[in-house]
Amino acid sequence: MYALQDLGWTDSHTTDFEPYAAEGLVPARVAAQHRGQYDLFSELGELRGVAAGRLSHEASGIGDLPAVGDWVAMAARPEEGTAVINAVLPRRTKFSRKVASQASQEQVLAANVDTVFLLMSLNEDFNLRRLERYVTMAWESGAQPVIVLTKTDLYPDWLSRVLEVEAIAFGLPVHAISSVTGEGLDLVRSHLAPGQTIVLLGSSGVGKSTLVNTLAGEELLATQEIREDDGEGRHTTTHRQLVLLPGGGMVLDTPGLRELQLWESSEGISETFGDVEEIELRCRFSDCGHGTEPGCAIRAALEDGTLESGRWESYLKLQRELAHLERRVDKRLAAQEKKKWIKAGQQGRANMLRKRGR
């Protein structure tokens, strides 16, 4: 049995759930997803659920289906240990990416989280440009980003890399930790509180599952040792799962992210690259292309080293990627609208023929 408050339930959830309570449905939180089935935490205990056919039919994409961290309304069969999910409650926050394919669809990696831990190890995994992408998407989620640099025990000069990260992550907490020596773990624990949810995101082998086990005080998740040939960890987590910690709070562990494509990240880009956009505002012309135009503040900053060329290229790359995504999404929505009107027209003609046949 789980207390809803321990799972993050608030007064706003009670209000959102009122229509479903009137139907006799029960609230639950999605703790894991397994090929169309869901582990659900509720006051009735842990149940295995599936999405109702109507919910799947009405979803415009996989982003509308239940995701780990979601609050849902379910028709429970506790005697069988099963349930049917009839609705997903409004999401307070969500960490999304574009589906890792050519389709312009949203994939929700984590819903209703309070804090996003962006994990990057201090050895061969260290990559500032990838971290900028992670931070951009974390800001867009609506949750609070926190950068966690792991494995200080494997990189003696870890303080220099903390300074590199702080130079691109203005105002964000940056914690350097080691699950082996205990370095920095108290700072990580300071973000935990009853009812609060933290999601761990990062590449394979950065130590997400190890950190969960350390915070839990027991081996809840499988881990593997660092490979000696390249210094990287092996991928262990195979699906997203919500873990309730003994001291209160929840951690959502995720598989290593091999690809993280933007999804609706215009505000996130502004948060992450506020320094770059502030320099752009100093250009003489508002439509400056940052090429040969006189009075270009960006070109001047690149020349005097105020703006690092790698950071500028990262900013341009994310802007191009977002613009391309927006064009594709617009085309997909237009195609869906066209199909809807064609279907409506066909239905109208069918109704007319039935009336004539009477």
Amino acid identity, position 352: M
Cβ(73)–Cβ(89) under 8 Å? yes
> Per CATH, which fold does 94-253 belong to?
Rossmann fold (3.40.50)
pLDDT digits (tens, 9 = 90+) for 228-247: 444 444 444 457 889 999 88
Q: Is the pLDDT of residue 351 over 80?
A: no
CA 40 to chain centre: 19
Q: What is the pLDDT of residue 257?
A: 53
Q: What is the pLDDT of residue 285?
A: 93
Q: What percent of the chain has pLDDT over 70?
A: 78
Q: What is the pLDDT of residue 343?
A: 55
Query: Mean of the pLDDT values across residues 297-307?
Result: 94
Q: Is the pLDDT of residue 202 over 70?
A: yes
Angle (nearest 5°) at CA 135 between 129 and 136: 90
Query: Residue 319: how many CB atoms within 10 A of its CB?
Result: 16
Cβ(176)–Cβ(184) under 8 Å? yes
Confidence of residue 74 (pLDDT cuts 50, 70, 90): very high
**Statement: the pTM of the whole predicted model exceeds 0.85:** no
Domain boundaries, given as residue ranges, for the chain? 4-88, 94-253
Domain 4-88 architecture: Beta Barrel (2.40)
Query: Mean of the pLDDT values across residues 273-278?
Result: 89
Q: Is the pLDDT of residue 226 over 80?
A: no
Angle (nearest 5°) at CA 273 between 272 and 277: 145
Cβ(116)–Cβ(208) under 8 Å? no
